[in-house]
A = this chain, B = another copy of it.
Amino acid sequence: MNSIFETEQAVTSADKTFIKMRGDIVEGNIVAGSKLSEAELSTKYQVSRAVIREAINRLATCHLVERKANIGARVVGLSPEGLVELYQVRESLEGMAARLAAKNMSVDEIGQLKELLNQHYEKVEGSESYYQEAGDVDFHYRIILGSKNSHLISLLLNGIYHLVRMYRVQLGMAGPRVSTAFDEHKNIVSAISNRDEELAEMLMRRHITYSMRNIQTKLTNEKNRR
């Protein structure tokens, strides 16, 4: 899926089911806001209800579904408000991640990050609009991992990022903002390279804020079109 790491190796049946379901939710195959029937899913994914229940619990910890006792689970709904809330958290956590990355990334890792940036540049130059998704995700992933803070990594990669992807995929975030985003990435790397924690955090926060505004614009345009 995305280049660097397929870290999560599913060993147990619940693992696999969880990952499948998560994909189906993010991609919209299981529609946002819909109710999840354990029995139904059990036949659909060919596993017992026990593993479905475990999968649902894990999805709940990613904030991809919401569970209510004795009532059941529903897929989270997508809304402009939800998007804003999500990005506020993202801004906060990734800002900190950038700060810590500036502090904790090895020179080697920073070198690789610059290398990645060069690859992106070539893609942008060649105006292959490839860039957007995978590249951007890759960039952010490296910085998050560079923070070396396990809590942060877990919250972002196992939690928030799938919801972010869900918004991106289902609201069709392709859009421009490519070259702009590239410059922002470049400046962030520069700050990290200079070990300027403050600046790295600030730039990352701005970068994410801009990105949110970009999505919001599309969201409202989408609305007006109807």
Binding site for B on A (CB under 8 A): 11-12, 15, 50, 53-54, 57-58, 61, 63, 69-70, 85-86, 88-89, 91-93, 95-96, 100, 149-152, 154-155, 160
Chain B nearest CB, measured from A80 CB (Å): 14
B11–A89 CB distance below 8 A: no
- Top 3 nearest A-B pairs (CB, nearest first) are A92-B96, A61-B61, A11-B69
Which of B53, B88, B151 meets A152, CB within 8 Å? B88
The complex is assembled from copies of this chain, and their number is 2
B57–A89 CB distance below 8 A: no
Which of B11, B63, B70 meets A11, CB within 8 Å? B70
B100–A96 CB distance below 8 A: no
In the complex, which residues of chain B have a beta carbon less than 8 angstroms from the beta carbon of A15? 69
Which of B50, B92, B100, B155 meets A50, CB within 8 Å? B50
| Secondary structure call for the A interface | helix
Give 5 CB contacts A-B under 8 Å: A57-B58, A88-B149, A89-B93, A89-B152, A92-B95
For residue A50, which residue of chain B has the nearest CB?
B50
Beyond A89-B151, A155-B155: 8 further Cβ-contacts under 8 Å?
A50-B50, A57-B57, A88-B151, A89-B93, A91-B96, A92-B92, A92-B95, A93-B93
In angstroms, Cα B150 to Cα A96, docked, is: 20
In the complex, which residues of chain B have a beta carbon less than 8 angstroms from the beta carbon of A89? 93, 96, 149, 151-152, 155
Evaluate whether A85 and B155 lie within 8 angstroms (CB atoms) in the complex, with A92-B93, A92-B95 already known: no
